[in-house]
Amino acid sequence: MKSGGPNLSEDITVGDATGVVFDAVDVLLNDSLDPISDEDLVELMRDWETTRRRMAAFEHKLVREIETRNLPEKAGVKRVSKYLEQTLRLGHAEACARVRAAEQLGMRQTGGEVLEPRLPWTAAYQQMGMVSVDSARRIAQIMDRIPAEIDVEDRDLAEFELASFAAQSTPDDLPKIGDRILGYLDPDGRFTREVDRQRRRGLTLGKQGVDGMSVISAQVTPALRAVLDPIFASLARPGMCNGDDAESPWTTEGLDDEALAGLERAARRDPRTAAQRNHDALLAFLRPEMGPENTGQHRGLPVSTIITMSLAEVEAAAGVATTASGGTVPLEEALQLAQKSKPFLAIFDHAGRPLHLGRAKRLANAAQRMALIATERGCTRPGCSAPATLTQVHHVTEWNKGGKTDIENLTLACDACHALIHDGPGGWKTVAMPKDSEHAGRTGWIPPAHIDPSRTPQVNDRHHAGELMAASLARLRDRTRPPVKWWSRR
């Protein structure tokens, strides 16, 4: 099945094109999908998704035209969003969202001059059908957070990187990449100062209701988040601290193999939501007999805040440190947390990979896991957002296939992604990226054929925003922006 439709003549009108779309939709709705093979159905879904994204770009054009013609004013309506509500019978939120999207991604006119969109790279990718409406909305939100003092070139680089990343990932990946990019744009806190974060910090315990329940609202600093994350990662695991299960453990301190097996059984019968588990974990941690010294271990390491920072960042006292739970901490705050910590020095090669650290047994040791936390930072399957605290150590070449427990053959994978690795239909595979690769030494994941028929190894960039920014700088050195008229052409 080939994507796209018949070639339309140059003199076809917008009305004619709309009629073609209407007729095509009638066919799509009325014809059966039964004759289509499974492979063609998957390709059809991809083609349809691409078309939907391109149609969203046309919606921006319509909204901007409404503004240019002053149709709301002619109808006696003050706002474009209200005009859309009344004309198209849209909800208020939907109408406002379309207007905001058109403002960011639609062509503009000033004094008869046609200007490119405010987010030109995102608009271009959407016109090509590579960026979804949700991704475009999240990119706009991230760009709004960039301080006005950041120069135009850096803003342009940030938007290009976000749009490029969105074209090959999901919208859920964008917020964390955006946080990393914002950290690199303002590494020394010139525009977002620590005093601003401290001013906004707070925790409010609401009034107790008639049912005895209370609402908590909070703005927590990066330091408090870094301390809380490992507690939740350990004590809020399924099966832990469940007051409705008499066999549920309340600490991982001293658990033997039999007790760990009991925890797995408790997890399978745990009906709580993630929010309920977080509540019960905090309650358990604050109990008088608990405390930090009794929280035990989590995936082979003591339950504690693990912060990764480079020597260059420490010497410059600028940038952001990374926690094992996937968060970031301004370096000044991270250094304060580290004053009374136990440092762990990891040495990496020029490609950012840990030097050899071998082991003859199947299970990785604590030192190897610490090294993986420092270099991988989270699950390595493309698109997965699981931080290092929610992962296990995986053999890139499996142990039962001769793979060694050496640092070169180890990576991090969360439980859900680890279960995807198998030799059956729909199974993923892991490989070490070759030396001549752009990502030499990192773990590549080979997706099943229904995701990528070419089965090309892919890496997860979600936990490595710094590398994304560096790659963008290299790509942009010889880049020139297309002329304005390009944006309005197919």
Q: Is the pLDDT of residue 44 over 70?
A: yes
Across the range 332-351, mean pLDDT stands at: 57
Strand partners, 132: none
pLDDT interval class at 489 (50, 70, 90): very low
Task: Extract the tokens encoding 292.
Answer: 């930090």
- Convert the pLDDT of each residue in 137-171 to its tens digit: 999 988 887 877 788 888 888 899 899 888 888 88
The Cα-based distances of 266 to 276, 281, 415 in angstroms read 15, 15, 16
Look at 155-169, 195-209, 441-455, 464-478 and tell me which has the smallest mean pLDDT.
Answer: 464-478
Computed over every residue of the chain, the mean pLDDT equals 77
Contact yes or no for 60/101 (Cβ under 8 A): yes
Q: Is the pLDDT of residue 42 over 70?
A: yes
- Convert the pLDDT of each residue in 47-92 to its tens digit: 999 999 999 999 999 999 998 889 999 988 889 999 999 899 999 8
Task: Extract the tokens encoding 197.
Answer: 């974060």
pLDDT at residue number 24: 87
Query: What's the rounded Cα separation, in Å, for the pair 43 and 33?
Result: 13
Query: What's the rounded Cα separation, in Å, for the pair 93 and 103?
Result: 15
pLDDT at residue number 206: 79
Please state which CATH number belongs to domain 366-475: 1.10.30
Residues 6+ apart with CB under 8 A from 166: 122, 125, 130, 131, 132, 135, 136, 138, 139, 174
Distance from chain centroid for Cα 17:
37
Residues 6+ apart with CB under 8 A from 62: none
pLDDT at residue number 129: 92
Q: Is the pLDDT of residue 125 over 90?
A: yes
Q: Is the pLDDT of residue 481 over 70?
A: no
Q: Is the pLDDT of residue 1 over 50?
A: no
Q: Higher model confidence: residue 463 or residue 484?
A: 463
Q: The whole model's pTM is what?
A: 0.52
pLDDT at residue number 63: 93
Report the percentage of the chain scoring pLDDT > 70. Answer: 72
Coil/strand/helix, residue 313: helix
- Convert the pLDDT of each residue in 255-309 to its tens digit: 666 777 888 888 889 999 988 998 888 888 877 655 555 554 545 444 455 666 6
Query: What's the rounded Cα separation, in Å, for the pair 272 and 239?
Result: 9
H-assigned helices in 31-173: 38-68, 71-74, 80-88, 92-105, 120-127, 133-145, 152-166
pLDDT at residue number 233: 80
Across the range 237-248, mean pLDDT stands at: 85
Q: ∠ CA 386-325-361 to the nearest 5 degrees? A: 75
- Other CB atoms closer than 10 Å to residue 266's CB: what's the count? 19
Residue ranges of domains in the chain: 14-187, 366-475
Residue 226 has, within 13 A of its CA and on its CB side, a CA count of 23
pLDDT interval class at 338 (50, 70, 90): low
Closest-CA residue to 410 (of 275, 300, 335): 300
Across the range 312-319, mean pLDDT stands at: 59
Query: What's the rounded Cα separation, in Å, for the pair 162 and 139?
Result: 7
Contact yes or no for 381/419 (Cβ under 8 A): no
For residue 394, the surrounding DSSP H or E stretch is strand 391-395
- Burial (CB count <10 Å: 0-12, 13-18, 19+), residue 66: middle
Query: What's the rounded Cα separation, in Å, for the pair 177 and 469?
Result: 10
pLDDT at residue number 486: 37
Strand partners, 411: 394
Q: Is the pLDDT of residue 342 over 80?
A: no
Across the range 223-237, mean pLDDT stands at: 80
Across the range 15-22, mean pLDDT stands at: 84
Closest-CA residue to 137 (of 172, 89, 184): 172
pLDDT at residue number 136: 94
Q: Is the pLDDT of residue 359 over 50?
A: no
pLDDT at residue number 201: 81
Across the range 355-365, mean pLDDT stands at: 53
pLDDT at residue number 395: 86
pLDDT at residue number 101: 92
pLDDT at residue number 51: 92
Across the range 209-233, mean pLDDT stands at: 80
Closest-CA residue to 272 (of 262, 261, 281): 281
Q: Higher model confidence: residue 377 or residue 130?
A: 130
Report the percentage of the chain scoring pLDDT > 90. Answer: 17
Q: Is the pLDDT of residue 133 over 80?
A: yes
Query: What's the rounded Cα separation, in Å, for the pair 490 and 488?
Result: 7
pLDDT interval class at 391 (50, 70, 90): confident
pLDDT interval class at 226 (50, 70, 90): confident
pLDDT at residue number 477: 40
- Convert the pLDDT of each residue in 405-417 to its tens digit: 777 788 888 888 9
pLDDT at residue number 353: 52
